[in-house]
């Protein structure tokens, strides 16, 4: 199985900050990488697919980049609704696997 490792596991930031979350794959996955946002008690929500494509309806302050083994999710200017847990997911090969999550908390 392809292992996905996110860093950091948790992050404190303030409204208006720019934050970056990293996801590393244990082997090359090209750009078969998705990002999801999950708030407590809710289902995950798709933000980014194919490493850098913004899902319809997702604010443009979210962006993704990377290819191969290293990927980043950037939030341009944090808003109150952005404090959540973020997961990356690889779909290069089955079983599709997720990172362990990055919890973004208010400073």
Partner 1 sequence: QVQLQESGPGLVKPSQTLSLTCTVSDGSITSGGYYWSWIRQHPGKGLEYIGYIYYSGSTYYNPSLKSRVTISVDTSKNQFSLKLTSVTAADTAVYYCARDKIDQLVLGYYYYYMDVWGKGTTVTVSS
In the complex, which residues of this chain contact partner 1 (CB under 8 A)?
Answer: 32, 34, 36, 42-46, 49-50, 53, 55, 87, 89, 91, 94-101
User: CA 40, 29, 83: angle at the middle one, nearest 5?
Assistant: 20
Quote the least distance from Cβ 10 to partner 1, whole Å.
13
Quote the least distance from Cβ 16 to partner 1, whole Å.
28
Task: Give the single-character DSSP code of 81.
Answer: G
Quote the least distance from Cβ 34 to partner 1, whole Å.
5
């Amino acid at each position: 199985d392809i292992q996905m490792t996110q860093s950091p596991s948790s992050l404190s930031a303030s409204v208006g900050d720019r934050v970056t979350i990293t996801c590393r794959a244990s082997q090359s996955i090209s750009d078969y990488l998705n990002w999801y946002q999950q708030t407590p008690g809710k289902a995950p929500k798709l933000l980014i697919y194919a490493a850098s494509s913004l899902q319809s309806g997702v604010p443009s302050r979210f962006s993704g980049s990377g290819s191969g083994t290293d990927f980043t999710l950037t939030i341009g200017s944090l808003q109150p609704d952005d404090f959540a847990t973020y997961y990356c997911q690889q779909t290069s090969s089955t079983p599709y696997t997720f990172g362990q999550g990055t919890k973004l908390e208010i400073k």
